[in-house]
Amino acid sequence: MREFDVVVMGAGVAGEVVAGRLGQNGLSVAVVEDRLVGGECSYYACMPSKALLRPVELQREVERVAGLSIGPIDVPAVLARRDEVISNLDDTSQLPWLEEHGVTLVRGRARLDGERRVVVEGGADDGEELVARKAVVVATGSGALIPDIEGLRDARPWTNIEATTAKQVPPRLAILGGGVVGVEMAQAWSAFGSKVTLVHRGERLIEREEPFAGAQVLEGLEESGVDVRLERQVLEVTRPSAVVIELDDGTTFEADEVLAAFGRRHGTSGIGLETIGIEPAGPLTVDDDLRVPGHDWLYAIGDVNGRVLLTHMGKYQGRLAADTILGRTVELRSDGAQSPRVIFTDPQVGAVGFTLEGARAAGLDVRHVDVETSGNAGGSFVGPGAVGTSRIVVDTKRRVIVGATITGSEVAEALHAATIAVVAEISIDDLWHAVPSFPTRSELWLKLLEAYGL
Examine residue 98 and state whether it is found in any structural domain, yes or no: yes
Residue 281, pLDDT above cutoff 90: no
Residues 256 and 271 in one domain: no
Examine residue 225 and state whether it is found in any structural domain, yes or no: yes
Report DSSP state, residue 304: G
Mean pLDDT of 292-317: 96
∠265-156-284 over CA atoms, to 5°?
10
Q: What pLDDT is stored for residue 382 in this prediction?
A: 83
Q: What pLDDT is stored for residue 215 in this prediction?
A: 98
Range of the domain at 208: 153-262
Q: Domain end: 218, 245, 262, which one?
A: 262
Q: Domain end: 218, 241, 262, which one?
A: 262
Residue 376, pLDDT above cutoff 80: yes
Dihedrals phi, psi of 64, to nearest 5 degrees: -90, -15
**CATH number of the structural domain spanning residue 414:** 3.30.390.30
Q: What pLDDT is stored for residue 379 in this prediction?
A: 80
Residues 444 and 402 in one domain: yes
pLDDT-derived band of residue 373, with 50, 70 and 90 as boundaries? very high
Name the average pLDDT for the chain. 96
Residues 134 and 269 in one domain: yes
Examine residue 445 and state whether it is found in any structural domain, yes or no: yes
pLDDT-derived band of residue 71, with 50, 70 and 90 as boundaries? confident
pLDDT-derived band of residue 226, with 50, 70 and 90 as boundaries? very high
Number of domains in the chain: 3
**CATH number of the structural domain spanning residue 183:** 3.50.50.60
Q: What pLDDT is stored for residue 358 in this prediction?
A: 96
pLDDT-derived band of residue 402, with 50, 70 and 90 as boundaries? very high
Dihedrals phi, psi of 61, to nearest 5 degrees: -70, -40
Bridge partner residues of 175 (DSSP): 198, 259
Residue 337, pLDDT above cutoff 80: no
83-112 residue pLDDT tens? 999 999 999 999 999 999 999 999 999 999
Q: What pLDDT is stored for residue 65 in this prediction?
A: 87
136-189 residue pLDDT tens? 999 999 999 999 999 999 999 999 999 999 999 999 999 999 999 999 999 999
SS3 state of residue 315: helix
User: Given the DSSP bridges, would you call strands 257-260 and 172-176 parallel, antiparallel or unpaired?
Assistant: parallel
Q: What pLDDT is stored for residue 385 in this prediction?
A: 82
Q: Omega into 439 within 30° of 0, i.e. cis?
A: yes
SS3 state of residue 6: strand
Report the share of the chain in percent with pLDDT over 90.
Answer: 91
Q: Domain end: 262, 278, 307, which one?
A: 262
Residues 130 and 206 in one domain: no
The CA distance from 25 to 33, in Å, is 22
1-13 residue pLDDT tens? 999 999 999 999 9
Examine residue 75 and state whether it is found in any structural domain, yes or no: no
Residues 366 and 429 in one domain: yes
Residues 120 and 235 in one domain: no
